[in-house]
Each structure stands twice: as C-alpha cells, then as structure tokens.
Amino acid sequence: MVDALREVHRVLAPGGILVDARPDSRVPAYAERQKVRGYQRFGVVSTNRVELANDRSSDRAIATVVSERLFKHGRRGRFWHRVPFENLPALRAYLREHLRFVHTANWVVDAATRRRFADEPFVIRRAVRFELLER
C-alpha cells in the first residue's frame, strides 16, 4: 500500500487532497432493529482477524508516507453508515457471506425477542473513519 500512496503523491497536484476513508475496525458494528423512531440494538458485529490485520497494515502505510513527508495530516474523524435489510434473516444472510465481518453477531437480546421482530426492518450500523491527507 505504501507504493500505491507514493504513486498517488506523484500524480496529485501540490496542495492536493487525498481522502482516506475506510471502515473503522476499532469500533464494533451493530445489528439494529429499525423502529418508528430510532433503532434498537440487537447485536454486536465484530471484524474478522484477517481484516483487522489489513487495517493495521493500512494504518502503518499512512504513517509511513506521513513520516516521509509525502503527505501531512488534515482533518479527520468518524461517521456512522447504516446498511439496511428487509428483515433479520436478510441481515444474517449478509453476514454469512460478508468477507469483512465475522459470520454471526453477538446477540444482546434473547432468541425469543429475535424471533418476535424477525420480519421487521434491520440495519447494520458501522463506523467509517476518514482523514484528509494534504500533499
């Protein structure tokens, strides 16, 4: 990734901005039931070990190009992104196939509650972190 960032530096105009935006694996994602007003947390969804290692590699690559003074840190932060699902079975199917997340949530509600609301809309709420890097 460092080589790719060096190439971005090469083609980016002086003073240009690189936007680094990616899922924030330092913060868990949440499986939530969509209510009329707001959301109810049903479970916590963790990032799998391979993706955690990839995220650390990405962090090191950014730190390397900043230490080489190819880029300097700008504004950074986090926002929350919701991925909607028709119902709980659709959310579970998504998790089974998703490469970034573990394949099942750690449920914080009991099985009876999950069955009772299974046909209602659900979301996965996940953190996305961003940073503006100036050439």
Tokens of 37: 């007003």
For residue 4, give every residue at least 6 positions away whose Cβ sits within 8 Å of its Cβ, in sequence order, or none.
Answer: none
For residue 2, give every residue at least 6 positions away whose Cβ sits within 8 Å of its Cβ, in sequence order, or none.
Answer: 61, 64, 65
| Length of the chain (residues) | 135
58: how many CB neighbours lie within 10 A of its CB? 15
C-alpha to C-alpha distance for 36 and 1, rounded to whole angstroms: 43
- Domain borders along the chain are 2-134
Query: Does the structure show a pLDDT above 90 at 127?
Result: yes
With 0-12 / 13-18 / 19 or more C-beta atoms within 10 angstroms meaning exposed / middle / buried, residue 29 is: buried
**Which tens digits make up the pLDDT trace of 75-106?**
999 999 999 999 999 999 999 999 999 999 99
Percent of the chain with pLDDT over 70: 100
Can you give the pLDDT at residue 1?
Answer: 83
Cα end-to-end distance, the chain, whole Å: 17
